[in-house]
Chains A and B, each alone.
Chain A
């Protein structure tokens, strides 16, 4: 314990030293700054931004993004990528909805959706590691396949005849907190715990940071990757259930472009595209930035099409800003 205390005081000795000890910290501080700035600006533009109802809305709308982005962070830290999440979200929610329409009890219907997502994730992971195909190609394929399945289940129409309690998860509150954000926070907690406090978490970073080192250390790289893709599929399905119970339907058109928002959130949050680096906390901030952006622009009455432009610009700006700040901080660190 004395050791821990010792290193803590030594680190606290200088904020700069603490900051540059870990590249990720700089990133987190920068993104947090961007988020605060956005909140302040939106608050000034529209008085309705700072209301409980709006924050509840924001939380409800951002929850699916946070859920899927946590899983994507782990996949990307292990140097993978999952482009299929948007389609898996749609297909899983359609699976769950069609089961519910057929009279299957709701919990089982939801479970069916999650299992479906997991199966797609397993197929992704299995083909990537066993057939040695690049994750971009495999998940680009399953993006189309899952979207196709969604339309096949509900041919070009929105499912009707859902049981009345279908919307419970997406629309109810626990105290002042919308249930979707509570689910998202639970996912965040689990992923943060996995990545920091478990052996599996260390293996994720090892696989992404130096796959050969991981293999030589006796880690099963294939198994690690497959598990991560399965989890990504399950989390996309969970995001789909949260989203479709909020809108109250089983719509095969939902989640188009969702994968790009998820990847943007992960990258804004500081996860390296080349693997080995990344934090759940950063991703959460990244997801909230994207959520806040569309919420704030909506309130400000900006046309939806402009929101795409804004989202793209924020993604690029966040990465550029991070790189600049990092260079500066490192330079100062080297000089001091």
Chain B
């Protein structure tokens, strides 16, 4: 990354002063000052609910501040609406990418400011503008006429960035842009960000990931409880210091020490093949955490789901504690002592309209006493909630009212109401803030120490390495290697990327 010139002299692209916002019962933003100068990447960091999103929403025109001023390029202004923010040259790339899958790349890029006179849509002009904008960020290969629904997440992000450029935005806000991306896609995004900096754009970069902030941040502003705690220059950025400022205490190492002793084999997978996985062999022992690494699309999620019986298995054998497991049957898997914590918490993990109590007892209610933890429903639910240290006012609370971290603990907890021997964890800390992450890591470690076998999938390499005793690397649905738990990130990345990409990507021919 090119180190930017110290951003001092120029008029700030954006400056907010004394910004405050009160929601019923919560002071979301309290006297916040912030500025962004041309050609800098200004990172925002803080736990969930610290005020980053509120600040972004106010700049985006989606919320009105109670007090405080906003200046855009030295002009004092009140941002009335998303449209107004756009006209002021502010662009937003949210995690939930705001693209329209049914339209083409070009149609998305010019959406809302289409070329053409008197209502007519000038397709040729739209395509030309789009091609130029894409070339400007090194995505020349993207076809402006392609449907956005057929693109990868990284390409959709490029569409959003091209859209920002076409709208002549000079302030670009990116909210956790790398969380859906692969390692090499992240590198490409960083290259795009460098280009944007060189063009004098200012970038507000919201992220939880320390390594990225160290890599691309020119300044970092830390939020805690709605207030700005500190703004640090590049030279003062260190992960430990940032975490201390965010959490208000020194967390130390966020991963627990690996002091576990694996016992007998709980899960044995031999020659497992399905739609996206091929001939997978795998063993997980009691008290052991095995991490699964690989790029998105390598078959990680499909592997977990196939073992759990949720994705179709064509061939192969799964044994749990020596007994053969009937494939393609979720109920059989649960009876055998398997539990899945799925990737999409909201869509697959919880039933948002039900209470914590009903959510945690979802599997318990479905199975006979021999398969589940003994006790009255109240006792079983309380025990699971307590051992996961879920913070909830009561068991009757609707689960959707809890924070993401606590919801996730309930999803893990529901398997503690059963005779679970193997936990399949798919992205267990996605969308969870740093404090809660650390707690979830501790819980995972405790569970393993208690003798549970754990198979862990995560796209955060540091997580896989920090927790696992062994790391299995997938590529194109195949196991391409196994590394010890103390492997370096470089070693894992090398294995997951370098091996020949087999049949799975050859759709061109």
Contact = CB atoms under 8 A, between A and B. Distances in A.
A213 B116 contact: no
Interface in B83-126: 83, 86-87, 92, 96, 98-103, 107, 111-114, 116, 119-121, 123
Of the candidates B92, B100, B509, the one having the most CB atoms from chain A within 10 angstroms of its own CB is: B100
A51 interface: no
Contacts of B107: 202, 205
Given A215-B82, A216-B92, A218-B82, A199 B102 contact: no
B72 interface: no
B119 A200 contact: yes
B100 A209 contact: yes
A217 B83 CA distance: 7
A290 to B, nearest CB: 25
Interface string A175-202: 0000000000000000000000111111
Contacts, number: 78
Contacts of B101: 209-210, 276
B216 interface: no
Contacts of B127: 3
A217 B92 CA distance: 10
A223 B92 CA distance: 23
B92 A276 contact: no
A310 interface: no
Interface bin, chain B: 20 to 34
Nearest to A22: B147
A199 B509 contact: no
A217 B103 contact: no
Interface string A10-25: 0000000000011000
B145 interface: yes
A22 B101 CA distance: 11
A206 B119 contact: no
A214 interface: yes
A276 B149 CA distance: 11
Given A197-B120, A205-B102, A336-B509, A214 B145 contact: no
A277 interface: yes
Nearest to A275: B102
Contact of A202 (B86, B99, B103, B509): B103
Contact of B507 (A209, A210, A334): A334
B112 A217 contact: yes
B98 A199 contact: no
A205 B102 CA distance: 7
A203 B112 CA distance: 8
Given A202-B103, A206-B111, A197 B98 contact: no
B143 interface: yes
Nearest to A197: B121
Contact of B111 (A198, A200, A219, A277): A219
A327 interface: no
Contacts of B87: 218
Contacts of A334: 507
B99 A199 contact: no
A334 B505 CA distance: 9
A121 B87 CA distance: 32
Contacts of B92: 216
Nearest to B96: A212
B99 A213 contact: yes
A7 interface: yes
B446 to A, nearest CB: 40
A333 interface: yes
A19 to B, nearest CB: 14
A199 to B, nearest CB: 4
Contacts of A216: 60, 82, 86, 92, 98
Contact of B113 (A7, A197, A218): A218
Nearest to B92: A216
Contact of B86 (A198, A199, A214, A217): A217
Nearest to A212: B98
A202 B82 contact: no
Given A3-B127, A197-B120, A218 B83 contact: yes
B120 A210 contact: no
Contacts of A210: 98-101
Given A198-B121, A214-B100, A216-B60, 17 more contacts: A7-B143, A197-B123, A198-B119, A199-B119, A199-B120, A202-B111, A205-B103, A205-B107, A209-B101, A209-B102, A209-B103, A210-B101, A216-B86, A216-B98, A217-B111, A218-B82, A218-B86
Closest 5 CB pairs of A and B: A217-B112, A213-B98, A218-B83, A209-B100, A218-B112
